[in-house]
Structure 1
Amino acid sequence: MRRRTGRFRTAAAAALLALGATVLAPPPIAAAAAARQATDAARTAEDDYCRGQCNDILPPGATGNATLVQILANKLFGTHPAHSTDQIAPYNALNGGYPSLTDDTLTDFFNDASFGVPKDQVGSVSAPRSDVTITRDKKTGVPHIKGTTRYGTEFGAGYAAGQDRLWLMDLFRHIGRGELTSFAGGALANQGLEQQFWPQAPYTEADLQAQVDAIRTHNGARGEQAMADAQAYVDGINAYRQQSKDGRYFPGEYVLTGHIDALTNAGEIQPFKLTDLIALASVVGGLFGNGGGGEVPSALALLSAQQKYGVAKGTRVWESFRERNDPEAAKTLHNGQSFPYAVKPAKAQGMALPDRGSVTPEPLVFDRKGAAASKSATPPQDPVKAPEKYRKLEGLFKDGVLPKGSFDPTQHRGMSNALLVSGKHTASGHPVAVFGPQTGYFAPQLLMLQEIQGPGISARGASFAGVGMYVQLGRGQDYAWSATSAGQDITDTYAVDLCNADGSRPTEESTSYRYHGACLPMEKLERSNSWKPTIADPTAAGSYRMQVFRTKYGTVTHRATIGGKPVAYTALRSTYRHEADSIIGFQMLNDPSYVHDARSFQKAAQHIGYAFNWFYADSRDIAYYNSGLNPVRNPAVDPSLPIKADPAYEWKGYDPATNTTDYTPPAQHPQSIDQDYYISWNNKQAKDYDSAGFGNGSVHRANLLDDRVRALTKEGGVTRASLTRAMADAAVTDLRGEDVLPELLRVIDSKPVTDPRLRAAVQQLDAWCKDGARRRETSPGSHTYAHSDAVRLMDAWWPVMIEGVFKPGLGSDLYAALGANLAVDESPSAAHGPTGAHAGSAFQYGWWSYADKDLRAVLGDRVQGPLAERYCGTGTLAACRDTLLATLQQVAGKTAAQVYPGDDNCKAGDQWCADAIVHRAVGGLTHDKMSWQNRPTYQQVVEFPAHR
């Protein structure tokens, strides 16, 4: 076996060298550009009011393109292109280095985020046009774009995006269009991506163009400028696209997927166009900026509760698990501010609950042929082979360009965190902020870092690749901003009555529906995808078709009956057909003449339609604003449940032709300036402001931040280092261990534990709890946790304990129905959690609040907003203790290999690896794992000492 591998490596290396002769380097740096850069850097530094106190980091590295030679070298020898992985080490090191962190050592873990590049740090300078330079620093390779004209500035931003993320942008425009498998091959990961995202925004080309036209015509001068900027950005991408193709230094994935012949250079990289940016924006918005939906599974849980307990009591039970306005929930606005939205009506009208057992999901995939006919991850026994000249390279890409599970489509849930402290409580008297988006870990990263300086633009930070004509999260001359996913309810589910155009009796399969008394045909939207064998995916050819029906109330998601009559459930999202409207808000955030203080920042954020929490810091103030196109509803409607499709229950002012409606005014959005501190980790924004879905109760991962920042603020003298330490400590803490385990132990310790084995397990858990319940290595690089046995016990015990406590009282049906709305567990190693394994993000979704409230009730503690019933031991302390010990007994003997069974990335029993962060490959390169830490992917640490 070893000899065979050696022969393969030798052959592949020879092929690599042969191909290397056809892959040239990018064009040389222009001398004039280098001279101009020195002048630009000095001018830029004058406009930087951070004075060296702004830092940031984004792993794995700035470089996101790799030629075919570089990809093959990565597969064969483990090498990486320059700056493609250099941010992994400092990012990873904070896990072990944060306890001793000082302001002076922040640069060991974060990079200088000052404007410009000092002369002695210039790595390269290029000038794709005479009116723009792109300077990259030696340390990170981040592009600093400086333009003398607006067009040239945006052209440079697009050109730099092409340099760093050409393949990724191409991938994502095809995901947004539902055409990934036709573009990149039929691997299961590719099928999953297009099936996940296209149904959220199943646009025709006319739909995409209409959005481009609307931005240009409906937003005055800013709209025209935005589309001019976008066109210049696209022109820059296309310039690099063509130059890299002609010079043969284009991303190697184009060869691996059969688009370009590496030897002859025959083939094409399709030009980018403005509508591609809309498709890209729909994917980004679907990942991070949506809110609401899920009303059908919520209704099914309500029906199960009513079936179990009766209508009145069942509704109370369901409401207690829904926790829609829980008084104990961690809130970003914690001073009692109330911003009522999507509240529960006193007496709901227009509810459209399905008949029990009648709901079926709307099918998406049809006509599977060839390789698409099998849903197995195992390739056919006799796959059609790639061309003979590439045969020796097949084994390097047996799972496709996107390896199996590389991009988990379930990672669309809201993430990100923020910590800000007012200057009243800091050592310097200036605000301090540590914040960033938690967007997952990919190779290359979905975000890219850049600095853009030009007429009307002055910003540095992160942008999603392909829509980076402006910095979306970062800093301006004397302010910084960031966001977290908000998740407020901007999506409703309507039940439309089905009909047939010929007047015959409708069925659940009917494709016409009632709208304002008329029987209208549904619009059928389709995508047909087919693929052939490539180097990256040498399995058999295949094809299938995706189909979505669209109505004036949104797209069809389910079919059912109500009172025996057939209906279709549809999802209506306020940002549908408005995927890129937020470009106006981002343009304002990048404009130094517009944003100059906290209030102007809030006004800019009002122009962002997606559901985000926005945070701001300058030398004087911190501020918060919740953005989103919040539709105005009939106050009698309950948005947590499906609504009857009737004019009386439509959004106020709703126009289906443009998908516009009346929106709540800015004053009704949660907002604040100079609260003592702000924290956000996708938690509840404010009292009476309902976030869509379950899970905002007494224990939320935001408590990990809130407890620490509140203590820091009370003590005073907060610094950048101390606030970063608070974030990093929360990032390695097990939420269950910190906020629920103490109550579990109180119940168990109500009597001595006599069984020696159980007593030892309880002692291990108790010691871990008292030591902070962290999941940290004994020393950096040890890959062994302190209290590893206790961590293993908690991972094994939690799901078994939750089932043992709640399932007997709820019954199997209701327990499962509630679990469909809120996962029981999302530990770092829980591959079944909403974000999947190795994702970094953890503890956002789980039954910790339910367990906390139930255990405190059993213990006799005060509980605000309790569950409607008691479940652990039916509410008696002795019986609850028996349940906890019985479930702990079930798992106490489980080995590490049983708790951590292993996967494609880890061997069975490797606890550290089971938690570890894996950079999910969305291209040909793969990277090393990082230690688990639950923190933003792109992160800023800022403190402005001065202001304009």
Structure 2
Amino acid sequence: MGAPMRRRIARLIGTKKPSRTGVRTGRRTRAATTTATTTVAAAAVFALGAALLAAPPPAAADPAARAGTTSVTAVSAADPVTDHCQGQCSDILPPGQNGNATLVDILGNRGFGTFPAHASDQLSRYDALVAGQDGLTDAKLTDFFNDSSFGVPADQVESAVSPRADVTITRDKKTGVPHIKGTTRYGTEFGAGYAAAQDRLWMMDLFRHIGRGQLTSFAGGALANQGLEQQFWPAAPYTEAEYEAQVERIRTANGERGELAMADAQAYVDGINAYRQKSKDARNFPGEYVLTGKIDAITNVGEIQPFKITDLIAIASVVGGQFGGGGGGEVKAALSLLAAQKKFGVVAGTEVWESFRQRDDPEAVLTLHDGSRFPYARKPDNPRGTALPDEGSVRAEQLVYDRTGSAVTHAKAPVDAPERLKPAQGIFDDGVLPAGSLNPEKGMSNALLVSGRYTVSGHPIAVFGPQTGYFAPQLLMLQELQGPGISARGASFAGVGMYVQMGRGQDYAWSATSSQQDITDSYAVELCEPDGSAPTSASTHYRYRSVCTPMEKLERTNSWKPTVADSTAAGSYRLQVWRTAYGMVTHRATIGGKPVAYTSLRSTYGHEADSIIGFQMLNDPSYVTDAASFQQAAHRIGYCFNWFYADSRTTAYFNSGMNPVRAAGVDASLPVAAERAYEWQGFDPATYKAAYTPFAEHPRSVGQDYYISWNNKLAKDYDAAGFGFGAVHRGNLLDDRVKKLVAAGGVTRASLTRAMADAALADLRGEQVLPELLRVIRSAPVTDPALNTTVQQLEAWRSARALRKETAQGSHTYGHATAIRVMDAWWPRLVERLYAPVLGDDLYEGLVASLQVDESPAATQGPTGGHSGSAFQYGWWGYVDKDLRQVLGDPVQSPTARTYCGAGEGLDACRDTLLATLKAASVKPASEVYPGDDNCSAGDQWCTDSVIQRPMGGLTHPKISWQNRPTYQQVVEFPSHR
């Protein structure tokens, strides 16, 4: 491509989109618009696209055109599978099903706000529930959700293609979801891969490169791209031979199901590659390949590299690390424990630290509230093998080496601080996926299930789904699979969608939330030198079962150069990690003056794809026939998830995960000495296998009156990894609402959905902690008139359920906006004033490193960042609530070791602290509380909260109102069963 043409494209893609959003096309053509002016402008863009692509496909909404297929016939849903949901199953996945956009589509979207068909047609319906929940009825559910019945009625068929004679992919007019029906198993899975490539080819390519630590070489050296590969590759730095070994192990270690799983995976890959080649030949491939320099727009020279089964393992390692991991953070926990012991002494300091760790707080909201106990990872009475570092000796392991060019410039900024996109920059200067978009600490999915004993129909009802973030396109994609041994509809992660991972079968539905139990430990390995000389902190040998053993060095060298869409200068660097029998080295330190390396050992390491067997079972109608068989299928999934099930008769729950059986006396919350006596039982470093807790020891239940989950604590005695599972948790927002519904009886799909939607707008601080704050403040008259007015505003907001909700849909103005602004300004100031003076700076900062103070929708810090749509998973709300109740003299179970408000000097001193911090917060202007960013002007409260679909490619989407709910969501009620 010549320089003049590059400049023409760069001018378009480097210009911020106009304020109008254009039209979200449905059945109309890609560039359909509503005004003559926009039509003319769009026509000009298409003309440019035609010149660039030489022979572009028709600008049509027909998904068959996207596929580059030649035989397209409209077919009806012949021989439909029996659907026991009978029209009472619904789902939604914003912004839309179509995640592939040609260069023409991208130019039209960037220049004029137009969209390809089905790229943004579920976003407005998802957004509308914010305002529509109050009048919601069962009949109106499909105003906000898709009908997720099996098949496509004949009059709703948009297109049907047969990439092979034994499979047909039918898409419906309303959503463009692929309904894949095969007459053979191979054909069904081939169709799944083909449809996945139609909808997510570019995304799948991104994720296989993220997993392999090669994103910058593939998509450019933007800081965010560097951050992603630096985040994920060190956790799973496999060689190609190790990828292949995982595939072979699945094939041979799981009997017939293992053979079948790998045959399905191969058929899936074959389908991806068939579309990959066809779209390339038809010049109908995703435009990002042109923008990143992979394919020349004029000559069509270039290649989309073929997919392999090992690519699926790489993708699975990213997905599993993002959503199914658990534990870790032991070194940070050790540092805060040492700070507590230094501040208060060993005994008192340990008590203080434990009161923040809250391993088994009796006030914590539980998913299993029937009194059942499932002991796991509990604090031992007499800990053995704990390996705390010497004070001041810990250093994080260096990951990046040999920076050149733009890599040197980027080294000056942290990897979680994205560069700002300026009009003169290309669309990928901020990375193909914005920094901080993917973070293993996210936990946002939720579930609400009610037993048929409390519903109008007498059948169970479930409203549930995973919160996988908001992306364009989504990490998940919808599909229906019908073929020999497969019958399901729902969501699958792009690139590993051989099976539906969360969705519904013929007469049952299932979903998951991240459970975050502890399957990751940190070991302190003693460093040594093979010649017997004294080791240093840089030594690359360690003692493994008394033998001085070399660490294994794993490396990845990446280089990049500018493209038309990424003006980042050329650069390169080398990624390096050291691997031991106890996992990857993460830190170096000394213990008793002797140098050690801390490692991270995860039970799913080397086994990221083993869970394929469980998902295969969940899709098999001959296997899952009831709650018990569902639990057995979920048990085959090694990732840390809470699994929920509903059919016409009962609900059920199971917690999955490869929970290692630890040596007696080991404290899983802190680093452990790397000695055989403290290893996981049955640990074999050659295969990364160990002994795991059996089915009977996993939290599970059938038929509890109701279940809720919002990444909260699971059950009594079952330790949640990390801090923050105490008296106030986001799960309380669901538990309180569902408990009231169950007490009243007569639950319907609409009423349970309303409970979810109401909790989705609630400010956890305002609902759960503000009442105690106000009680302390009102313990005496507030004599300052201005401050009293602020208190009254907070009281009025709390009386209105402390919601962050617009005055009317589209007003972009919150009711009780002043009270919300005050709370956003008050909370971080309040927490610091309550705790820092008593704890001291070192301990306070150490605890904040393990659990951030706040995660309001307006927050830009923390795991989820700004505009993420998730809030109130991580914060000090339970600490403050418990402390205030102690000051007030209320009953408190498991009280904290000290009282902090007012430095423990009583109610009056506590009240003085609250009033002082509230007064300072009340006068803080909105422009400082909401400082603005590239998407919002300073002081714009609604915009700061708003959810933005983070672009994973060339398309951008309008903002929507903040709501704290799953990305993919189902509403189900089965009236019959097989």
TM-score range (shorter-chain normalised) is over 0.9
Contact 2:53 / 2:297 at 8 angstroms: preserved in 1? Answer: no
Q: Which moved more, 1:751-760 or 1:511-520?
A: 751-760
Aligned with 2:384 (options 349, 353, 362)? 349
Aligned partners of 1:415 and 1:738: how far apart in 2?
A: 19
Task: Tell me the C-alpha RMSD between the 2 structures.
Answer: 1.8
Partner of 1:458: 487
Contact 1:188 / 1:377 at 8 angstroms: preserved in 2? Answer: no
DSSP 3-state at the match of 2:525: strand
Residue identity matched to 2:742: T
Aligned with 2:356 (options 314, 321, 337)? 321
Aligned with 1:896 (options 919, 926, 929)? 926
1:34 deviates by 3.6
Contact 1:29 / 1:127 at 8 angstroms: preserved in 2? Answer: no
Aligned with 2:49 (options 1, 8, 16)? 16
- Structure 1 runs, 4 residues or longer, greater than 4 Å off: 4-14, 25-33, 393-396
Distance 1:350 1:377, change over 3 A: closer
Partner of 2:652: 623
Alignment pair present for 1:709 and 2:745: no
Partner of 2:344: 309
- Aligned pairs (5 A) from 1:173-572: 173-375=208-410, 395=424, 397-400=426-429, 402=431, 405=434, 408-410=437-439, 412-572=441-601
Aligned with 2:948 (options 918, 932, 939)? 918
Distance 1:252 1:505, change over 3 A: same
Aligned partners of 2:654 and 2:14: how far apart in 1?
A: 57
Aligned partners of 1:756 and 1:235: how far apart in 2?
A: 72
Contact 2:13 / 2:110 at 8 angstroms: preserved in 1? Answer: no
Partner of 2:873: 844
1:803 deviates by 0.4
Distance 1:255 1:8, change over 3 A: closer
Aligned with 2:609 (options 546, 555, 580)? 580
Alignment pair present for 1:605 and 2:634: yes
Distance 1:905 1:30, change over 3 A: closer
1:403 deviates by 6.0
Contact 1:394 / 1:535 at 8 angstroms: preserved in 2? Answer: no
Contact 2:730 / 2:764 at 8 angstroms: preserved in 1? Answer: yes
Partner of 1:382: none
1:258 deviates by 0.6
Residue identity matched to 2:654: Y
Q: Which moved more, 1:17-26 or 1:706-715?
A: 17-26
Aligned with 1:739 (options 755, 762, 768)? 768
Partner of 2:96: 61
Report sequence identity in percent: 70
Aligned with 1:151 (options 186, 205, 226)? 186
Aligned with 1:928 (options 928, 935, 958)? 958
Partner of 1:646: 675
Contact 1:278 / 1:579 at 8 angstroms: preserved in 2? Answer: yes
Aligned partners of 1:311 and 1:642: how far apart in 2?
A: 17
Contact 2:429 / 2:568 at 8 angstroms: preserved in 1? Answer: no
Aligned partners of 1:790 and 1:5: how far apart in 2?
A: 43
Aligned with 1:134 (options 155, 169, 176)? 169
1:408 deviates by 2.5
Q: Which moved more, 1:216-225 or 1:886-895?
A: 886-895
DSSP 3-state at the match of 1:346: coil
- Aligned pairs (5 A) from 1:725-736: 725-736=754-765
DSSP 3-state at the match of 2:599: strand
Residue identity matched to 2:166: D
Residue identity matched to 1:877: L
Partner of 1:89: 124
Residue identity matched to 1:595: V
Aligned partners of 2:376 and 2:145: how far apart in 1?
A: 39
1:519 deviates by 0.4
Aligned partners of 2:221 and 2:646: how far apart in 1?
A: 46
1:407 deviates by 5.2
Contact 2:89 / 2:971 at 8 angstroms: preserved in 1? Answer: yes
DSSP 3-state at the match of 1:99: coil
Q: How many residues align?
A: 928
Aligned partners of 2:225 and 2:12: how far apart in 1?
A: 31
Distance 1:424 1:398, change over 3 A: closer
Aligned partners of 1:219 and 1:123: how far apart in 2?
A: 40
Contact 2:12 / 2:111 at 8 angstroms: preserved in 1? Answer: no
Residue identity matched to 2:972: V
Contact 1:778 / 1:786 at 8 angstroms: preserved in 2? Answer: yes
Aligned partners of 1:98 and 1:13: how far apart in 2?
A: 40
How far does the alpha carbon of each residue in 1:370-420 deviate from its partner, in whole angstroms, 9 at most, with x for none? Answer: 011012799xxxxxxxxxxxxxx9957254373683652436422200000
How far does the alpha carbon of each residue in 1:462-498 deviate from its partner, in whole angstroms, 9 at most, with x for none? Answer: 0000000000000000000000001000001000000
Residue identity matched to 2:947: I
Residue identity matched to 2:967: T
Aligned partners of 1:202 and 1:446: how far apart in 2?
A: 22
Aligned partners of 2:852 and 2:441: how far apart in 1?
A: 15
How far does the alpha carbon of each residue in 1:716-763 deviate from its partner, in whole angstroms, 9 at most, with x for none? Answer: 010000000000000000000000000000000000111122111111
Residue identity matched to 2:216: T
Residue identity matched to 2:920: Q
Contact 1:619 / 1:945 at 8 angstroms: preserved in 2? Answer: yes
How far does the alpha carbon of each residue in 1:573-599 deviate from its partner, in whole angstroms, 9 at most, with x for none? Answer: 000000100000000000000000000
DSSP 3-state at the match of 2:98: coil
Aligned partners of 2:423 and 2:779: how far apart in 1?
A: 62
Aligned partners of 2:685 and 2:530: how far apart in 1?
A: 21
1:696 deviates by 0.4
Contact 1:414 / 1:485 at 8 angstroms: preserved in 2? Answer: yes
Aligned partners of 1:63 and 1:843: how far apart in 2?
A: 31
DSSP 3-state at the match of 2:134: helix
- Aligned pairs (5 A) from 1:33-44: 34=73, 37-38=75-76, 41-44=77-80
Residue identity matched to 1:420: L
Residue identity matched to 2:765: R
DSSP 3-state at the match of 1:154: helix
Contact 1:490 / 1:631 at 8 angstroms: preserved in 2? Answer: yes
DSSP 3-state at the match of 1:844: coil
How far does the alpha carbon of each residue in 1:306-331 deviate from its partner, in whole angstroms, 9 at most, with x for none? Answer: 00100000001100100010000000
Residue identity matched to 2:298: L
Gap runs ≥5 in structure 2: 1-9, 16-40, 59-63, 414-421
Residue identity matched to 2:760: A
Contact 1:136 / 1:143 at 8 angstroms: preserved in 2? Answer: yes
Contact 1:457 / 1:590 at 8 angstroms: preserved in 2? Answer: yes
1:58 deviates by 0.2
DSSP 3-state at the match of 1:435: strand
Contact 1:799 / 1:825 at 8 angstroms: preserved in 2? Answer: yes
Aligned partners of 2:927 and 2:443: how far apart in 1?
A: 31
DSSP 3-state at the match of 2:202: helix
How far does the alpha carbon of each residue in 1:163-200 deviate from its partner, in whole angstroms, 9 at most, with x for none? Answer: 00000000000000000000000011111111111111
Contact 1:24 / 1:247 at 8 angstroms: preserved in 2? Answer: yes
Contact 1:840 / 1:933 at 8 angstroms: preserved in 2? Answer: yes
1:294 deviates by 0.4
Aligned partners of 2:312 and 2:98: how far apart in 1?
A: 21
